[in-house]
Structure 1
Amino acid sequence: MSYRLKPLNQQTVVITGASSGIGLATARRAAREGAKVVLVARNEDALREAAEDIEAAGGQAAWCAVDIADSAWPEKVGKVADDRFGGFDSWVNNAAASLYARLDEVTEEEHRRVFDVGYFGTVAGSLYAAKRLRERSGGALINTGSVLSERAVGVQGVYSAMKHAVKGFTDALRVELQEEDAGVSVTLIKPNGIDTPYPEHARNKMDRPASVPPVIYDPELAAKAICFACEHPRRELLVGGQGLLLTKAGNLFPGLTDLIMQNFMMEDGQSSDTPPEPGAEDNLFEPRKDGRVRSNQDNFVRKSSLALEAQMHPAVAIATGMGTIAAAGLIGALARSRRA
């Protein structure tokens, strides 16, 4: 399969969920690297401010305020991209909604809302983008999954199920587009816990403010992975070494991983003493105060991920690993020679 992906500074990139968190970080990073960006979310004021900030910094940005649960949203966004920039080259489905609650506490309406935004919104955006990118002789489609696409966690069961569905859909669509030789690269981004306003925006039925359990990573790492995928075909990119370990552990030792989840990843492991910023709480059905990339919690945040770098640059990682092994062997040989 051959893909013709342009350098990022020659692209127009559509990004959903762009009013905060990973989406906003990605829009800013792509614009800094020279891409034209189309920001998509519900919060019109936050989108306008973000686009104005990008343009004030020398970038090019447009915005489109839509509810991703509305099945007609992709056409509205496509029209903005066409009118402002003549189309798009990469499309990033990043929008999601969530809640912290045990499954028997979740109403059917809440359950459906999480899927309407995170899954059916991704499906509608993906199918529209794939059709348009075929017409443009290729491009990149990037869907944001999660480490929870691989390993479900209690208290976020509905979100975990939705991200499992996103992964299944993305994998199937990739196969179909490859079989057609459509020239559309399909990448699933799977972030570990990221320091975004996600726990503030999620509906919370716990007794304490919600949080993301550690290890927590910088949103810029997820943005870096997404921008990389706009230029380089990758099947998946997992952001954060802890997520990689959790995924492998769940595959090899599912029972033991369940036990760890039960003891360390329930309400106590996903709660905080820091309440949401006023006006930001619970955007499940309505947009709330927005515009921040990072959370309001005092977290220790990892700024780098060797696991991500190895996935983006496997040849360098292999060479570095071989070099490390060779150096260790040389040191060992010298030590033995000295002893002799």
Structure 2
Amino acid sequence: MPVTLKPLSEQVIVITGASSGIGLAAARMAADRGARVVLVARNGEALDEIVVGINNAGGRATMVEADVADDDAAERIASHAIDTFGGFDTWVNNAAAALYARLEEVSIAEHRRVFDVGYFGLVQGSLEAARHFKWRFKDGGAGAIINVGSVLSDRAVPVQGAYSAMKHAVRGFTTSLRVELEAEGAPISVTLIKPGAMDTPYPEHSRNKLGKPARVPPVVYDPRLSAKAILFAAEHPKRNLLVGGGGLPIKLSTLMPWIADKGMEALGEGGQTTVTPPAPGTSDNLFEERVDGRIDSNQDNKVRRQSLYLEAQLHPVAATAIISGAVAAAAGAIAYVQKRRHSSTMAAA
């Protein structure tokens, strides 16, 4: 059944992990475009400040202080959205927790925590959203479930093994959920967003056992590009969106896994560490919240503000026309040069 989603300005959007990085960028961007936003995170103090800022700027936002790993979190979030705004139209599962460490140094408790937040929290949110949408749109309309995976949903990297495994699980669950809902004709769009390396506080927030400050390896992109992809999927049903062409080689590496393994070995710890320490109070939020409220990292990264590959996915017809025009122009230029050379040769003869 074709799914038609509301314009963003008519939507209520739930966003987990909304106190920093991609989630915060998406919340502010959605509010700027007229959506009513429900921000969710553990850090209630940071959320309160963010919500006040959005509302003072003319937006409409509310907050739920919650750990998505808690058994009742998704239900509480949904109830708050219904009580405040009468329901919701899009649910974005963005919350995650991570650590940088060799797998032999990761405890089972740490593994479980990464999965409790990033996978089981996402599962609970997705299923709660699906139940709400089936009821809310039983007589027409549709809702969107948007799950934030990663390029590491396709390819694992060393010293982020637990996080990579969790994001692989997110991809598997999201694909299965989409297929099941489509098979029953449910009025629900299900999208997996796969950001590449983003310039967020992620390395600062992660638990770190490397002995040096962590970073994401280049190429690094502006997290607002991921927010743009999320909000596009809130209005336009999409299966997957990969954010940042720099992540394309990781996706393609599945075609030559043995070569990719060598590349990952070369990346190792050295490619994922820096000399810039985390900002004060931000380090290690695996089990407890830390200082929050920033979209961008505190590191001196060379950040790409645009992604042509993302634009090609959002607007494939226009991208095809541009590429075709560029190819035609190049072919014309080559033909012109060859004709001039031929004319010059004939004149010399």
TM-score range, shorter chain: over 0.9
1:2 counterpart residue number: 2
Given that 2:200 and 2:295 are in contact with CA atoms closer than 8 Å, whether structure 1 keeps it comes out as yes
1:20 counterpart residue number: 20
Report how many aligned residue pairs link the two structures: 338
Counterpart Cα distance in 2 of 1:333 and 1:153:
46
How far residue 333 of structure 1 moved from its aligned partner, in angstroms, is 2.1
Please report the RMSD computed on the Cα atoms of aligned residues, expressed in angstroms.
Answer: 0.8
1:268 counterpart residue number: 270
C-alpha distance after superposition, 1:315-339 (max 9, x if no partner):
1111111111111122122222223
How far residue 269 of structure 1 moved from its aligned partner, in angstroms, is 0.6
Given that 2:191 and 2:238 are in contact with CA atoms closer than 8 Å, whether structure 1 keeps it comes out as yes
2:217 counterpart residue number: 213
2:136 counterpart residue number: 136
Q: Which runs of 5+ in 2 are unaligned?
A: 344-349
Give runs of aligned pairs for residues 57-76 of structure 1, distance below 5 A: 57-76=57-76
Q: Does 1:280 align with 2:282?
A: yes
Letter in 2 for 1:100: Y
Counterpart Cα distance in 1 of 2:326 and 2:171:
35
Given that 2:4 and 2:236 are in contact with CA atoms closer than 8 Å, whether structure 1 keeps it comes out as no
1:295 counterpart residue number: 297
Given that 2:229 and 2:241 are in contact with CA atoms closer than 8 Å, whether structure 1 keeps it comes out as yes
2:346 counterpart residue number: none
TM-score (structure 1 length as normaliser): 0.98
2:109 counterpart residue number: 109
Larger deviation, residues 302-311 vs 128-137? 128-137
Percent of counterpart pairs with the same letter?
61
Match of 1:182 among 169, 182, 186: 186
Is the partner of 1:335 in helix, strand or coil? helix
C-alpha distance after superposition, 1:248-275 (max 9, x if no partner):
1x12211111101101x21111011111
Match of 2:313 among 301, 311, 314: 311
Is the partner of 1:143 in helix, strand or coil? strand
Counterpart Cα distance in 1 of 2:87 and 2:47:
19
Q: Does 1:243 align with 2:247?
A: yes
How far residue 92 of structure 1 moved from its aligned partner, in angstroms, is 0.1
C-alpha distance after superposition, 1:67-94 (max 9, x if no partner):
1110211111111111111100000000
Match of 2:152 among 111, 125, 148: 148
Q: Does 1:259 align with 2:262?
A: yes
C-alpha distance after superposition, 1:118-151 (max 9, x if no partner):
0000000000101111222221110000000000
Counterpart Cα distance in 2 of 1:295 and 1:338:
53
Is the partner of 1:13 in helix, strand or coil? strand
1:335 counterpart residue number: 337
Is the partner of 1:212 in helix, strand or coil? coil
Q: Does 1:47 align with 2:47?
A: yes
Match of 1:201 among 198, 205, 208: 205
